[in-house]
Structure 1
């Protein structure tokens, strides 16, 4: 097939193992066979040294240039426990089974960490010079969403739906709402879309707390049946379905000195999304992104924190599809009137430098590199590093941009997935990466003379243990004939090109997910490898609409989810059918969540192509899905009735042909069980047989040991119908 571009072959060097995976190792094998790595590395501020935990999690170790980066013990778990005892005046009950994994350097002499015991979470700081620990704050173990102030003199936390603040001596109730449906300070606001990962923000001076207040009393309650009681009961959740009434959110500022509250005047309509919440370095202003419910118009507003009044709209973004704010502002450390703003408005998520009056100073974008995560500013505040997505989404590289002139330098170069950071003085880069052939490699590079020291080169963890199948990277053209799509094919164990094999296509296809990356094993999961070892060709491809390829790659799905995605996946099927070793009569599908939607969609839209399929937690009709995610891509059912009808699978059940197993978590709060139940009913009415299996105690994903049961069921289903 001329459109196929074979890029790399991962084959015989890994085919010398002794056995195949067990079904248990499809779940726990990733831990068992993880390539060797360093644990929790961090640069020490202002030092040319970094720390790590030893393999047993019993010691904090340091590596510095003076000893050629060899590790030395800095602090043991037992020594830290003794310091905690002194700090808490507790000589008996303090025990540490392992070194705190949340340790974080505060400065060149001290690190912060959390210790839990006797019904309390203790937030402490350890000074490596004095070898003493200092208690800074504490919360009860029942507390959630702890948020420490900048100087760690206060901690805000939630008890159920209310905010409490502990200041070292007393605890204050910031909110006291008792009405079901009023939620304060929660990160689960707007269902954590729009980059939301917290619900409270301290001002830089630690005196004021900005927080969400969510009113969802008007949102429909959805019952999730709980089976554990003698008489089953319903646990109700607030679930705003597409086109229905949504939550109303406000932002308030609590002043610890005056104990007063100020509501930011974010205005009407009440059904809007508030995100990008950022304090001004002065503590006088708060910046908020206001996104309309249609999600096509964003305003970045500046508010007076004392009065709540709107000061100014700094910038606006509009789109014919959607605007998706995902990143809070980053103020420059030496210029309190300038900040970095991220947006994909020009095609790729990149950095833009603005001042606090809303004037664009300069674009900091580099080629078509997508900014995935920001690193640190240099000590002088003139540059910032970031991990950028390159190579058509396959690689991650470290970049640094000069904020003064926009000049960008790529600091890592080996193809693969890099996790890299720079010492605070800019002298050294700690770089960890993997690729298809590199399990894990960690180096330290001197930026001044380019000298590189190898810290770790992980061996192949399967050598002499597991017989891995051959993995091949490939690139196919999308259905529009313009866009290269990344894929991989895993060949059956003991592959014989003269034989014909059944196929399992594993897919997802939705936004914010990417299955194919230039990492170890090319991103293949252990169940993929297991199925190949059982005699299947396993194929995966990231279609248009998936992540890490830029704005235009995703926007083709607008108002018609699944259509471009299916067209692209069928190009993958064309490739498979062109291969002489593929049995065209034995092609199967497996996907979960959006992948379950894709799996079921392909079964009913292309009957006869796929012999067997397993759809886990599938979206069946987008009118049953929630507002924030669903309306971004589909608008509301009222605005896009034809689109909802076209992508719904309920009226297409009569087109089903082949074997279909649907799996659902009975307490799924994400893709509620109504999706699959409605489809089962449609199949019954259409006289179509379909297999159905519930996991009674699980939500959207089947986790823990039960996941072994799930994979065994899926493997047996494929074996039953596709094996000869």
Structure 2
């Protein structure tokens, strides 16, 4: 009897035991079997109180309406969409795997969709009320950067380095450059720095197309070796390294009716940057931010769209460090003479109201809030809504600002990360909220009475499947002794405070990135929790230089990348070493890209502290990095030789004491492989052993199924050299 009872207890325990994550789950689980319940692609139907989104299987467009007490219904199925397309285009077939996730609303009844047929791609205006196709423009299946005109009758797209306009079933070649060094209409202008995500802009009345023309014929070629060939071949890319020749960019206006082209007279040095590109609402003027190559002087210019002539410089921004324009102008609805401009000129990226003569009408900033997303206006354009920071950058909250008075109200208040979608009349907000203890809490808030209707509260997707280790957000003080820094500790599984544990410091540390946030999982990747389940303390801290804390917090890195960042990271190490459960002799560090630079730097400059490191895609010498990003933070090698020398890890290879694994993608077009190869060569010269692993077909990061291989390699490296 006792034996049977013992067997029952064993089998019962096995049936309910919770296992550690597999490496596959640690890599993709956040997006698959451990995905938190949420609404996919939620949008408010314009001029209604109807919320639309995709169902969990991405097969149907769903709707919830205020009139229907927010009950869920099917608005449009993928089958209905395919049937309507088939009726309109009988010569094509549409085997849709899912409803187009990139849908958007043009007006109350018109959906904008991109749909692939067997014979091409269609940019569609679809009537959701009648479930019929209003209009569609067919473009080539291999088209890139496609942009639909405002009236829906034409589309501009790229065929390699040239622009084609499709209209009324005909294709017109806007450009015909045979030299691949002349690139037209590409969103990869200025290497997508300065907030650039488009290379072509239709005029508001659809009669003209504004586009970038990038001349990079004079930029040096960099070879990417293609290993899949019978004899490996070099694929050359244009790569403007810091201090070397950069691309020359202009903006042209193409008149659809006449075929004439007009070049904007953006006079100045040929190697300047053109961004913030915006049409005036009437289509008569074009606004462009002209930034010098030194990136410390911006002019916001207004040009005549018909002649290309400069009308006026509205205002200028200068800085001792750098000016970084990142956003187009946002005109006030119904007002052709006023717009919003986002800048950090007074310390925090905030909104300013200007008129088209360049006069600043009102500063709309609020406290030390950094604007992270501009959401839109209410119907009368009385108020503007935006997402912004709070709680020393840990939180994201919704704010509403009265344009006339400048008064700002923080709409959401619960500490955590809010993702808000505001109805077009500004009366309703879809608020998806999470923090470290809340996976996702989704509500519709009526701003008139502050009544919230809960749609659902997501369950913890890990319950009953795996025990996630304890995670804690912590606050430290930076190396300057006065700046609070945000950190995150993930404790080992089955944590015992009486034991000593090895530590893995996961670091990025560079601009425009924030790793620690007050949201579900603390902003961590599931792989961090996997490592904690293997018995590590996993620690991350956002040092000065990282995102969402304002200009001075970030600009402290200027001309000295890595210096203040490492000083702050070492304050984090001091914090860890003070913990009785930390094994100070077993501290490792890992990071990718800027984080790879940081991991390598810490392994060398703090060799007595860090025993093991993994550096992925690391910048090793900033003179090998590209002009736009590199010179913003470091100036040129000619202007700042001391700074470049000080953070050059290639020259520090002789300092290496611990075990270091360097990983690189052979096709990396961001941090080119020359960085790591030069570092490895320096290690050989210094007689230092270093481990090196190459992913032959991957670019700057390792994506897809090979990500599992990458994570396994990192985990095994720490297991082999840090635990023992």
Q: Which residue of 1 aligns with 2:679?
A: 679
Q: Distance in 1 between matches of 2:407 and 2:439?
A: 33
- The CA deviation at 1:94 is 2.7
| 3-state DSSP of counterpart to 1:24 | helix
Q: Which residue of 2 aligns with 1:117?
A: 117
Matches within 5 A, 1:74-93: 74-90=75-91, 93=93
Q: Which residue of 2 aligns with 1:702?
A: 702
Whether the 8 Å contact between 2:388 and 2:398 is mirrored in structure 1 is: yes
Q: Which residue of 2 aligns with 1:431?
A: 431
Q: Which residue of 1 aligns with 2:621?
A: 621
| 3-state DSSP of counterpart to 1:485 | strand
Matches within 5 A, 1:465-544: 465-544=465-544
Whether the 8 Å contact between 1:122 and 1:135 is mirrored in structure 2 is: no
Q: Which residue of 1 aligns with 2:659?
A: 659
- The CA deviation at 1:25 is 1.2
Q: Which residue of 1 aligns with 2:291?
A: 291
Q: Which residue of 2 aligns with 1:553?
A: 553
TM-score by length of 1: 0.97
Does residue 59 of the first structure (1) align with residue 39 of the second (2)? no
- The CA deviation at 1:17 is 6.8
Matches within 5 A, 1:584-603: 584-603=584-603
| 3-state DSSP of counterpart to 2:535 | coil
Superposed CA deviations along residues 489-512 of structure 1, whole A, max 9, x for unmatched, are 111111111110111000000001
Superposed CA deviations along residues 427-480 of structure 1, whole A, max 9, x for unmatched, are 211111111000001001111222111101000000000111011110000000
- The CA deviation at 1:67 is 2.3
Superposed CA deviations along residues 169-203 of structure 1, whole A, max 9, x for unmatched, are 32111000001310000000000000000000111
TM-score by length of 2: 0.97
| 3-state DSSP of counterpart to 1:513 | coil
Q: Which residue of 1 aligns with 2:582?
A: 582
| 3-state DSSP of counterpart to 2:597 | helix
Q: Which residue of 1 aligns with 2:406?
A: 406
Q: Distance in 2 between matches of 1:77 and 1:643?
A: 56
| Residue ranges of structure 1 left out of the alignment (5+ in a row) | 1-15
Q: Which residue of 2 aligns with 1:640?
A: 640
- The CA deviation at 1:691 is 0.8
Q: Which residue of 1 aligns with 2:175?
A: 175
| 3-state DSSP of counterpart to 1:300 | strand
| Residue ranges of structure 2 left out of the alignment (5+ in a row) | 1-15
Superposed CA deviations along residues 671-704 of structure 1, whole A, max 9, x for unmatched, are 1111111111111111111111111111110111
| 3-state DSSP of counterpart to 2:633 | helix
Whether the 8 Å contact between 1:88 and 1:135 is mirrored in structure 2 is: no
Measured on the aligned residues, the alpha-carbon RMSD in Å equals 1.1
Q: Which residue of 1 aligns with 2:157?
A: 157
Q: Distance in 2 between matches of 1:197 and 1:619?
A: 24
Superposed CA deviations along residues 531-586 of structure 1, whole A, max 9, x for unmatched, are 10000010000000000100000111010000000000000000111111111111
Q: Which residue of 2 aligns with 1:278?
A: 278
- The CA deviation at 1:155 is 0.5
Does residue 107 of the first structure (1) align with residue 107 of the second (2)? yes
Q: Which residue of 2 aligns with 1:48?
A: 49
Q: Which stretch shows the higher mean deviation, 75-84 or 198-207?
A: 75-84
Whether the 8 Å contact between 1:17 and 1:468 is mirrored in structure 2 is: no
Q: Distance in 2 between matches of 1:570 and 1:655?
A: 17
Whether the 8 Å contact between 1:113 and 1:124 is mirrored in structure 2 is: yes
Superposed CA deviations along residues 341-393 of structure 1, whole A, max 9, x for unmatched, are 11000000000011111111110111111111111211111211111111111
Matches within 5 A, 1:142-541: 142-541=142-541
Q: Distance in 2 between matches of 1:415 and 1:516?
A: 14
Whether the 8 Å contact between 2:296 and 2:323 is mirrored in structure 1 is: yes
Q: Distance in 2 between matches of 1:198 and 1:119?
A: 26
Whether the 8 Å contact between 2:138 and 2:169 is mirrored in structure 1 is: no
Whether the 8 Å contact between 1:17 and 1:467 is mirrored in structure 2 is: no
Superposed CA deviations along residues 75-108 of structure 1, whole A, max 9, x for unmatched, are 2221222111111134x72332221212211211
- The CA deviation at 1:661 is 0.6
| 3-state DSSP of counterpart to 1:336 | coil
Superposed CA deviations along residues 653-686 of structure 1, whole A, max 9, x for unmatched, are 1111111110111111111111111111111111
Q: Distance in 2 between matches of 1:53 and 1:511?
A: 34
Whether the 8 Å contact between 2:333 and 2:381 is mirrored in structure 1 is: yes
Q: Which residue of 2 aligns with 1:6?
A: none
Superposed CA deviations along residues 271-316 of structure 1, whole A, max 9, x for unmatched, are 0000000001111110000000000000000001111110000000
Superposed CA deviations along residues 323-348 of structure 1, whole A, max 9, x for unmatched, are 00000000111210111111000000
Q: Distance in 1 between matches of 2:182 and 2:198?
A: 17
Q: Distance in 2 between matches of 1:666 and 1:57?
A: 35
Whether the 8 Å contact between 2:94 and 2:116 is mirrored in structure 1 is: no
Q: Which stretch shows the higher mean deviation, 60-69 or 626-635?
A: 60-69
Whether the 8 Å contact between 1:17 and 1:463 is mirrored in structure 2 is: no
Q: Distance in 2 between matches of 1:153 and 1:99?
A: 23
| 3-state DSSP of counterpart to 1:267 | coil
Whether the 8 Å contact between 2:94 and 2:118 is mirrored in structure 1 is: no
Q: Distance in 1 between matches of 2:651 and 2:129?
A: 70
Q: Distance in 2 between matches of 1:61 and 1:644?
A: 54
Whether the 8 Å contact between 1:220 and 1:245 is mirrored in structure 2 is: yes
| 3-state DSSP of counterpart to 1:67 | coil
Whether the 8 Å contact between 1:17 and 1:462 is mirrored in structure 2 is: no
